[in-house]
Amino acid sequence: MKRLRANDPCWCASGEKLKRCHGDRSALQRPPVRRGVPAALRSVPESIARPPYLATGGHPTGPSGRQVFDAAGLEAMRHAGRVAAQVLLDAGAEVRPGVTTAELNDIAHDSYVRQGAYPSTLGYRGFAHASCISVNEVACHGIPDSRPLADGDIVNIDITAFVDGYHGDTSATFAVGTINPAADALVAATCEATLAGIAAAQPGRTINEIGRAVEAVARPRGYGVVTMYGGHGIGTVFHAAPHIHHTAHPSATAKLVPGMTFTVEPMLTAGREDLVSWDDGWTEVTIDGLISAQFEHTVAVTADGVEILTVTDDGTSAVTWPNAVVTAAGAGR
């Protein structure tokens, strides 16, 4: 799908060119994020069950095929999803100028433990924290550290809870204080794209319908969609097949079947879609330094639709945005 370009009229009908309106690069770039001191290592009580990869140095060894569950498995997935949703709400509630990302990670850590869950990222492939926290041009996998959030930042918190043998994975982008309208529009579009992608995850459809729906939200507003990362199967395995493309990848023609569980987690960029890694081995930043946003749910394909698993008992989650216009039908329970 064609991406709106800098000299095209802005999608908002202001009559201005995109580059003078919602695509104004000066509004979509923040002072570069500098790394701080990583958050201190935290322990989890021995009474809380660990995921299997903790026994093999954080490196998964078992099969990682697609995850498809019966009613009992889906009930366990709902439980893990509920816990993850609550951790994300708890950490997100503390986002404000001056709070460090290490402090947000501590709040998340305490929330997992309080709910009897193990943070899936803690010890996974050498990652030493309960969450990934990614600010502004950091697109994903940010390491919680001593950097205080500043008014006008956007911050993504990514949570995965391991409960009774199952993982639930969810993330949301939050505004720090007051953000400018161009940044707000990017985050709104990312939330909409996530929910549109989920709504497209219907039984019998192909995986690339998810990415097609994401692109249909992002491209007409001039946003990039990151292709270096995608969603993934999730269940008793943290990262499993299939790869969920967030673009309409031509070869992603495998069919979605009832009982399949996976994540939908598009990253939208204000500028270029390419990411570069810091030498910490984790932090991924946009190559041009413009901001990026992300939301994520774990979902299950049902007999006649799709169910969002990473919500609390009353169906709420942090995957929401005040100005997001959600037009796609069929998402939710």
Query: Is the Cβ of residue 10 or residue 240 nearer to Zn ion in the bound state?
Result: 10
DSSP state for residue 122 in the 8-state scheme: T
Contact yes or no for 287/160 (Cβ under 8 A): no
Contact yes or no for 318/191 (Cβ under 8 A): no
Q: Within the chain, where are the H helices? A: 71-92, 101-114, 181-199, 208-218
Query: Is the Cβ of residue 21 or residue 218 nearer to Zn ion in the bound state?
Result: 21
Contact yes or no for 204/255 (Cβ under 8 A): yes
The CA distance from 128 to 126, in Å, is: 6
The CA distance from 59 to 126, in Å, is: 8
User: Closest Cα partner for 302 from 262, 257, 264, 244?
Assistant: 257
Q: Read off the amino acid at residue 245.
A: H
User: Closest Cα partner for 268 from 213, 153, 187?
Assistant: 187
Q: How many helices (H) and strands (E) does the chain have?
A: 4, 15
- In the complex, minimum distance from the CB of residue 16 to Zn ion, in angstroms, rounded to a whole number: 6
- In the complex, minimum distance from the CB of residue 235 to Zn ion, in angstroms, rounded to a whole number: 41
Handedness of CA 104, 107, 109, 115 (dihedral sign): negative
Binding site for Zn ion (CB under 5 A): 10, 12, 14, 21-22
- In the complex, minimum distance from the CB of residue 171 to Zn ion, in angstroms, rounded to a whole number: 27
Q: DSSP assignment of 116-142, as one string? A: T-EETTTTGGG--SSEEEEETTEEE-P
Query: Is the Cβ of residue 24 or residue 158 nearer to Zn ion in the bound state?
Result: 24
Query: Is the Cβ of residue 83 or residue 185 nearer to Zn ion in the bound state?
Result: 185
Query: Is the Cβ of residue 23 or residue 142 nearer to Zn ion in the bound state?
Result: 23
- In the complex, minimum distance from the CB of residue 6 to Zn ion, in angstroms, rounded to a whole number: 12
Contact yes or no for 219/1 (Cβ under 8 A): yes
- In the complex, minimum distance from the CB of residue 185 to Zn ion, in angstroms, rounded to a whole number: 7
- In the complex, minimum distance from the CB of residue 275 to Zn ion, in angstroms, rounded to a whole number: 26
- In the complex, minimum distance from the CB of residue 21 to Zn ion, in angstroms, rounded to a whole number: 3
- In the complex, minimum distance from the CB of residue 20 to Zn ion, in angstroms, rounded to a whole number: 8
User: Closest Cα partner for 157 from 146, 171, 143, 167?
Assistant: 171
Query: Is the Cβ of residue 122 or residue 189 nearer to Zn ion in the bound state?
Result: 189
Query: Is the Cβ of residue 11 or residue 278 nearer to Zn ion in the bound state?
Result: 11
Query: Is the Cβ of residue 182 or residue 319 nearer to Zn ion in the bound state?
Result: 182
The CA distance from 46 to 213, in Å, is: 43
